[in-house]
Chain A
Amino acid sequence: MIRKYRNRTNRENVQLGALTAFSAGMVNVISVIIFFAFTSNVTGHFAILAGEISKGNWYQALVVFGWIGLFFLGNFTSNIIVINFHKERAYLAHALPIVLEICCLLAVGTYIQYFYRETLLETELMVSLMLFAMGIQNGLTATISNAAVKTTHLTGLTTDLGILTSMFTKKEFREKPELRDKMKLLLTIMTSYLAGGICAGYIYLTIAYNVFYIVCVFLLIVIGYDFYRTKVTNFLLEKRQPYYRKVIKDRRPQLSNS
């Protein structure tokens, strides 16, 4: 799901988009409930930044600027990992940013549960960490799907959806499979993001801060699925299909696809 194949299928993009958008929706709503700040709504933060500057609230402006900077840093980090490691260790290059995201969310969840005293500094740092995590996720999904999937970019998604819907008024566009696939992908992301938000709101009432652990489980599914597809499947194939082996005289048997 997270590997950057030469030609990713729409099914893979839909799976990736659905799971990551669901977790992004959950994180965003939970951050609003606990911290009164959005963590996957950078367009909104730019508007707030402009508002705070115009009012002369420099402390708040700097805090929001820092949050935007951390979202940027998250995108930077995930992409720098991918472009530096994907040739030698492709799976690791794509899994590592999600592992980082899980670490950030686990840190936030654990801190809130055991240490959070609700000071402003703690709130600002927790939101920063969550924005960094969302930046990592958005950057990774955009990189590996060739910008087809952006899980926290609902403004762009709604724009694309509006454009596509208008295009579908003409039969020639309606019948194009790539446009139909794109529509399916966009609707999946939008629905998943919304569903994630709604679930987080409901779940928070019963299990409170444990929502962060549930988000981590979803992210583990993303990297676990790919691990299964690449590593485990290859391992099983090697074990079960000895007819792939070539035996060369005076040499040990070797796998053909190793």
Chain B
Amino acid sequence: MKTNLTYPTVFAVVAGLYLTLLSLQPSPEFSILGEWREVSWEYEKGDSLLDGSFDYRVTDHIKAQLLSNLIIHEAEIWNFANTETLEMSGRSATQSLVWKLKGRGNILQIQRGDHATEYYQIQELSEDRMVLHFNFDMQVRGIVKMTFERINT
């Protein structure tokens, strides 16, 4: 009889506590909303500098080469709206895309109208900073780290 009561009680308490804690945490779907400005692009494998160190920053020339076939074409401002639309504006024309989060909220899926889809790994998402990792399939360069700062919510 004691066991019959203990098990449901423990399950109910753990489930209740779990759901309460989960409801107190903001979902990444909510945290990502707002306008973000691109601050930097950094390579996993950068070029060697004369003093033997690496230059992790991507030059504008390399960035232009990388972006030629990508959705995020020279966008500097990313605006995530709660209608799952993403407006990218910058030097190139403004384009409207669709964004979704996958996994446990750690994968950002960006889709264009012609069904071209890109996936970014969200490494950090705080109130004022967002860091995305993207693998460009350029093994020489590896993963690109894109850092953003929030302009407004």
Q: Which residues of the other chain, B, contact A55 by a CB distance below 8 angstroms?
A: 124
Q: Which residues of the other chain, B, contact A48 by a CB distance below 8 angstroms?
A: 104
Find out whether the CB atom of A66 lies under 8 angstroms from the CB atom of B106. no
Find out whether the CB atom of B106 lies under 8 angstroms from the CB atom of A60. yes
Quick one: given A35-B102, A36-B102, A120-B101, are A62 and B29 in contact (CB under 8 Å)?
Answer: no
Q: How far is the CA of A69 from the CA of B105 in the complex (A)?
A: 18
Minimal Cβ-Cβ distance residue in A for B107? A36
Question: What are the interface flags for B1-32 relative to A under an 8 Å C-beta threshold, 1 for contact and 0 otherwise?
Answer: 00000000000001000100110011111000
Asked if A103 lies at the interface with its beta carbon under 8 angstroms from chain B, I say no
Minimal Cβ-Cβ distance residue in A for B98? A118
Q: What is the distance, in angstroms, from B23's C-beta to the closest C-beta of chain A?
A: 10
Q: Which residues of the other chain, A, contact B27 by a CB distance below 8 angstroms?
A: 59, 120-121
Q: How far is the CA of A65 from the CA of B38 in the complex (A)?
A: 33
Find out whether the CB atom of B25 lies under 8 angstroms from the CB atom of A62. yes
Q: How far is the CA of A43 from the CA of B146 in the complex (A)?
A: 30
Find out whether the CB atom of A60 lies under 8 angstroms from the CB atom of B22. no
Near B by CB (< 8 A), chain A positions 33-57 give 35-37, 48, 52, 55
Asked if B63 lies at the interface with its beta carbon under 8 angstroms from chain A, I say no
Quick one: given A62-B18, A69-B18, are A119 and B29 in contact (CB under 8 Å)?
Answer: yes
Asked if B100 lies at the interface with its beta carbon under 8 angstroms from chain A, I say yes
Q: How far is the CA of A119 from the CA of B109 in the complex (A)?
A: 11
Asked if A191 lies at the interface with its beta carbon under 8 angstroms from chain B, I say no
Q: How far is the CA of A48 from the CA of B104 in the complex (A)?
A: 10
Find out whether the CB atom of B22 lies under 8 angstroms from the CB atom of A62. yes
Find out whether the CB atom of B104 lies under 8 angstroms from the CB atom of A37. yes
Asked if A124 lies at the interface with its beta carbon under 8 angstroms from chain B, I say yes
Minimal Cβ-Cβ distance residue in B for A64? B104
Q: Which residues of the other chain, A, contact B18 by a CB distance below 8 angstroms?
A: 62, 65-66, 69
Q: What is the distance, in angstroms, from A66's C-beta to the closest C-beta of chain B?
A: 6
A interface bracket (residues with beta carbon within 8 Å of B): 20 to 34
Q: Which residues of the other chain, A, contact B124 by a CB distance below 8 angstroms?
A: 55
Find out whether the CB atom of A124 lies under 8 angstroms from the CB atom of B25. no
Near B by CB (< 8 A), chain A positions 104-143 give 118-121, 123-124
Q: Which residues of the other chain, B, contact A59 by a CB distance below 8 angstroms?
A: 22, 25-28, 105
Find out whether the CB atom of B103 lies under 8 angstroms from the CB atom of A36. yes
Question: What are the interface flags for B67-91 relative to A under an 8 Å C-beta threshold, 1 for contact and 0 otherwise?
Answer: 0000000000000000000000000
Asked if A85 lies at the interface with its beta carbon under 8 angstroms from chain B, I say no
Find out whether the CB atom of A120 lies under 8 angstroms from the CB atom of B25. no
Find out whether the CB atom of B25 lies under 8 angstroms from the CB atom of A37. no
Minimal Cβ-Cβ distance residue in B for A45? B104
Asked if A83 lies at the interface with its beta carbon under 8 angstroms from chain B, I say no
Asked if A58 lies at the interface with its beta carbon under 8 angstroms from chain B, I say yes
Asked if A237 lies at the interface with its beta carbon under 8 angstroms from chain B, I say no
Q: Which residues of the other chain, B, contact A64 by a CB distance below 8 angstroms?
A: 104
Name the 9 nearest CB pairs between A and B, nearest first.
Answer: A36-B103, A59-B25, A36-B102, A63-B104, A36-B107, A120-B101, A60-B104, A118-B100, A120-B29
Q: A36-B107, A60-B106 are in contact. List 10 more A-B contacts (CB 8 A).
A: A48-B104, A59-B25, A59-B26, A60-B104, A63-B104, A64-B104, A118-B102, A119-B29, A120-B27, A120-B29
A-B contact pairs, 30 of them (CB 8 A): A36-B103, A36-B119, A37-B103, A48-B104, A52-B104, A58-B25, A59-B25, A59-B28, A60-B28, A60-B104, A60-B106, A62-B18, A62-B21, A63-B105, A65-B18, A66-B18, A66-B22, A118-B100, A118-B109, A119-B29, A119-B100, A120-B27, A120-B28, A120-B29, A120-B100, A120-B101, A120-B102, A120-B105, A121-B27, A121-B29
Residues on A facing B (Cβ under 8 Å): 35-37, 48, 52, 55, 58-60, 62-66, 69, 118-121, 123-124
